[in-house]
Structure 1
Amino acid sequence: MIQRFKGKVAVVTGGATGIGLAAAKALVQEGAYVFITGRRQEVLDQAVNEIQTNITAVKADSGKKEDIEKLFNIVKQDKGCIDILLCNAGTGGFGYPIGDITEQHYNTVFDTNIKGSILTVQGALPLMNEGSSIVLTGSISSVKTYETMSVYCASKAALSTLARTWALELKTRKIRVNVVSPGPTETAMLTDLSHDLQASIVNSIPLGRAGNTEDITSAILFMCSAEASFITGTELFVDGGAVLV
């Protein structure tokens, strides 16, 4: 296997399940040392057992500043620098029409998807090497609207705007900032839906299937690699064409 990330240090928030776990595994397989975060210790422990080598798990909520400070203190003590940051921690929000949106729902979505990303990037920056890469896990919901998901869609649109702005702000350090935005993907966010709703979503995708974690991970690793060294401020849709319909 090609070792594109040999000797590199990566941090993956929300790295214990789904896309984050798949990305962490792939980064380790290609030579990186990876720190993952999550909110459930037992799930983190399971992820470490799966990956086995070159992995450290830190229990942390991305929306809490004290947890993020703890994370990067550990990274600093253990490795001293960061080459790759994947802000993957996020939450969904299906089933909230305008009349049912609560302050709690808004806070939950924006604390994780936006505040969490801001705190994570802020915490990582002092440790990030020149020419390093930041990838934010977005969603086609940044440009494609879904009924009863307005707060979630707004949070993903905001995330894309943050990425474009940060790409300009960090240009002098040659830190690239990009978004990888999945469409419907075979993770809990899709599989927890009713069978009929899942089928309706999948049937609407031009390429005729939902994505899998490997589809998304391939795009993430490309954006982290030297192959994408001239790409910054970009949102890459990995969606089988779903954003087109």
Structure 2
Amino acid sequence: MAEEVKLMKGNEAIAHAAIRYGVDGYFGYPITPQSEILETLMAEMPWETTGMVVLQAESEVAAINMVYGGAGTGKRVMTSSSSPGVSLKQEGISYIAGAELPCLIVNVMRGGPGLGTIQPSQADYFQTVKGGGHGDYRLITLAPSSVQEMADFVGLGFELAFKYNNPAIILADGIIGQMMEKVVLPPFHTRRTEEEIIAECPWATQGKTAGRKPNVVTSLELDPAKMEENNIRFQAKYRKIEENEVRYE
């Protein structure tokens, strides 16, 4: 079978890859220079072909909390934004990391501080790799250097997020988001059935069935000793990811 080569922007490549990888839901809010991700998903109307939910939330805060809810049910869910929007999402991202849920976040960076500029920047590097919000967590960070990697990292991001029950982020910038290159899109994958999700994600809040305790999704631990235990376990997981998954040239 011949490869399907397309010419498109990095933002468009992410949108097409999300549909083809069988993503269940995208929740976002427009902001330059990544608005084409949401616009392309809306134009492609995947809810008519794959059943993928595409929703423009009322704000960045709403979008990340919709991702939190979807991730809690074991679905493949994602969001995208740019620097100030990702700053608004920090509390939600911190909650998702603390609840140990998989999801994919896309940050097409612009210059700051504040609203800053719509020009490309790499200002969010430390926020991303050191743990945003009020800290004590890490993201699985994939930094694409081409439009092809924008597409490839959607599948890889979800693979790693579900492998480690941790949010993954594609850390791009306005240049890769806006420039056009040739890209080979991934083949189509069907979305998982409810039965497949339950088998893959026994922790998911899919409705309590007979024979198991209720699943609880939370990042809150009122017992300080238990919270310390959690944080020690989290840090061990982050070290394991660093040992096994770092990939660069």
Taking structure 2 as the reference length, what is the TM-score of the superposition?
A: 0.43
Normalising by structure 1, report the TM-score.
Answer: 0.43
Q: Which has the higher contact order (CA 8 A, sep 6+)?
A: 2
Q: Which has the higher helix share?
A: 1
